[in-house]
Amino acid sequence: MVGVKFFGYLAAGIGLVGLALSSKKMMDLIPFLKSVSPAVILVPSLILVGVGIILLLGDGKSGAKSKLGTEVPIYKGKEIVGYRVLK
């Protein structure tokens, strides 16, 4: 099964390629890009890089995560009295 991080890397990679293609030198080298405005390539590329970074930073798991492990609540009856860290 392909994970979320794979799609994060894929989106960020495509966005970086788009950023490179939106430069003036690259648009002059590629014939079919000469008629396209740089903003048409630049804006979606920036969005893809942003989405890729968000996907990479989020770990996709619920629950608070500290440097030591995942925090889980400690219940006394129906009330939460504290939190414990699972490694």
How do the pLDDT tens digits run along the chain, 87 residues long?
A: 577 888 999 999 999 999 998 888 888 888 888 888 888 999 999 999 999 999 888 765 555 555 677 888 999 999 999 988 887
Which pLDDT does position 23 carry in this prediction? 87
80 part of a folded domain: no
Considering the domain boundaries, does residue 81 fall inside one?
A: no
Domain-embedded: residue 69: no
pLDDT at 36: 85
Query: Is 70 inside any structural domain?
Result: no
Is 57 within the bounds of a domain? yes
Give the pLDDT of residue 65. Answer: 58
User: Is 20 inside a domain boundary?
Assistant: yes
Note whether residue 78 is domain-resident: no
Burial (0-12, 13-18, 19+ Cβ within 10 Å), 71: middle
Q: Report if residue 36 sits inside a domain.
A: yes
The boundaries of the domain holding residue 44 are 4-61
- What's the rounded Cα separation, in Å, for the pair 41 and 56? 23
- Per-residue pLDDT at 60: 56
Q: Where are the beta strands (DSSP E) in the chain?
A: 70-76, 79-86
Rounded to whole angstroms, the Cα distance separating 64 from 77 reads 22
Please count the structural domains in the chain.
1
